[in-house]
Structure 1
Amino acid sequence: MEGGRAWLRRFRSAIVAVMLAASFTPALAVNPDEILADPVLEARARAISAGLRCMVCQNQSIDDSNAELAKDLRLLVRDRLRAGDSDRQVMDYIVSRYGEFVLLKPPLGVNTVLLWGMPAALLVVGGIILFIQVSRRRRVPPAAPLSAEEERQLGEILAQRDDR
C-alpha cells in the first residue's frame, strides 16, 4: 500500500513538473499556413511581428496572439514583404493604418514623453506642495505665555466648570 502511494506522489510531481515546463515555453500563434516558403522573408516577418502589438490582447505581440486581428496583421506583414517592401516600409504602412499604439515599443516623441514623464512631474509637484505646507507649519510662532490677568480669568472659568 505504501509503495503505491509513493508511486502516485512521484507521478503527480512529474505531471506538475511537465505542466510547469510547458507553461514557460513561448506560445507562438503563427499557423503553418501563414509561414512563408522563403526562410529569409519568414525571419523578417517574425522580427516585424514581434514588434507589433495585438490590438485585441494589447500585451502580446501579434506573433504570440491567437486573435483574428493578429492573424490578419501577420498575413498583411507577409503580403507586404512578398510585395518587396522593406522592413521600415512595412512598419510605416501598419502604423499609418493603426497608429503608433500598434507598436510594442513606440518611438520617443512628445506624446510618449508626456505619458511617461507626467507621473514623475506630478510626484515632484506634490513633493514641493508638501514641503511648502510643512515649512509653513513650522513657521507658526509658539503661543505667548498667559499674563497674570489671563491666568486669573482662566482659573475662574475652570472653577465655575468644576462647581457644576
Structure 2
Amino acid sequence: MAAGLLLAVACAAAAQAQPAGDASPLRFRNEAEEVRFHALTAELRCVMCQNQSLADSNAQIAQDMRREVLALMRQGRTDAEVKRFLVDRYGEFVLYRPEVGARTWLLWFGPGLVLLGGAGLVWHVVRRRAMAPAQDATGPGRRDGDDQGEQEW
C-alpha cells in the first residue's frame, strides 16, 4: 500500500517536472513566411513518429521542432541552415532526402545493389540449369542399346 502511494507521488512529481509544450497554434508574420514554413516542415521527418513529416505529426517533439524551425527562420537562417541545425541535433534521419555522402551512400544505392544482386543470382541459376545435360527419356542410369539381361523370343 505504501509502495503504491509512493509510486503515485513519484509519477505526479515527474509529470510536473516536464512541462508540456505550448499547444497554441503558430502565428505567422505573413503569407510568405507561412508558405516557406510549411514547405520546410514537409521535408523534415518527425524523430518520434518516423513515417510522418514534421508538418503532419502531432507528437510533442514535433510541436517543439516546428517551433524551433519557425524561430530559426525568424533569425534569418536559410532553409539549408535550418536543416543543418536539425541534422546536427537529431542526425540525418530527420531529413526525408538526406544528402549523398560517405555515411548515406548505402541508404541511396543499397536497394539498387540488392536488386542487381538478386537479378545476377537468378541469371546464374537459369544459365546453370540450361547448360546441364538433359536427362534421357529412358531414365537415369540407362542408355539406349543397353539390352543386357533382356532376351528376345
Could you say which TM-score interval applies, normalised by the shorter chain? Answer: 0.5 to 0.7
Distance 1:34 1:111 in 2: 37
Q: What TM-score do the two structures reach when normalised by structure 1?
A: 0.62
**1:130 paired residue number:** 125
| Matching residue within 112, 116, 119 for 2:114 | 119
How far off its partner does 1:38 sit?
3.7
**1:9 paired residue number:** none
SS in 1 for 2:25: helix
- Percent sequence identity over aligned pairs: 30
How far off its partner does 1:43 sit?
2.1
Q: Per-residue CA shift, 1:27-48, capped at 9, x if unaligned?
A: xxxx653233343323222111
How far off its partner does 1:103 sit?
1.4
Amino acid paired to 1:52:
L
**1:51 paired residue number:** 43
| Matching residue within 96, 101, 108 for 1:104 | 96
**1:42 paired residue number:** 34
Distance 1:48 1:112 in 2: 22
Stretches of 4+ aligned residues off by more than 6 angstroms: none
**1:155 paired residue number:** none
**1:67 paired residue number:** 59
- The yes-or-no answer on 1:77 pairing with 2:52 is no
Count of residue pairs the alignment pairs up: 121
- Where structure 2 has 5 or more consecutive residues not aligned to the other structure, the ranges are 1-22, 137-141
Higher helix share: 1
SS in 1 for 2:44: coil
How far off its partner does 1:151 sit?
3.7
SS in 2 for 1:60: coil
How far off its partner does 1:133 sit?
3.3
Distance 1:123 1:133 in 2: 15
Specify whether residues 133 and 33 from structure 1 end up closer, same or farther in structure 2 by C-alpha distance, changes over 3 A only.
Answer: same
Query: What RMSD over aligned residues (CA atoms) do the two structures have, in Å?
Result: 2.3
Specify whether residues 107 and 151 from structure 1 end up closer, same or farther in structure 2 by C-alpha distance, changes over 3 A only.
Answer: farther
How far off its partner does 1:83 sit?
1.4
Distance 1:67 1:122 in 2: 39
Distance 1:130 1:111 in 2: 27
Deviates more, 1:122-131 or 1:59-68: 122-131
Q: What TM-score do the two structures reach when normalised by structure 2?
A: 0.66
Instruction: Report which of the two structures shows the higher radius of gyration computed on alpha carbons.
Output: 1
Distance 1:150 1:81 in 2: 95
